Amino acid sequence: MVNKKEIVKLIQDNGVLTDIDSVNFDAPFENYNVDSLDMATILLAIEEKYAIKIPDEHIDQITSINAITKYLEKALNNNSIEA
């Protein structure tokens, strides 16, 4: 099971969304001015931490902290990242 606290820490450790206390986990990252470079940083950190490769066609699914959690749970539980 993927822990949201781990995801939040990963995002904070990479300098994105440093004021995490005010973040709604369902809100899209774009609401917090997370740009494409920030998203690339988040995705790379996720890939490294969880030893997965997120296909380009799945990137649009990863829009919030909750979306990251759901995506990772599905990917890790199924040993597949088929959407």
**Structural domain spans, the chain:** 4-78
What's the whole-model pTM score? 0.84
> 4-13 vs 36-50: helix axis angle to the nearest 10?
120
Q: Dump pLDDT digits (tens) for 1-34.
A: 788 889 988 999 988 887 778 889 999 999 989 9
Would the pLDDT of 49 be above 90? yes
Query: For the stretch 10-43, what's the b/e string if a residue is b when 16 or more beta carbons lie within 10 angstroms of its beta carbon?
Result: bbeeeebbeeeeebeeeeebeebebeeebbebbe
pLDDT tens for 37-47 read: 999 999 999 99
Hey, which CATH number is domain 4-78, 1.10.1200.10, 3.40.50.2300, 2.40.70.10, 3.40.50.150? 1.10.1200.10
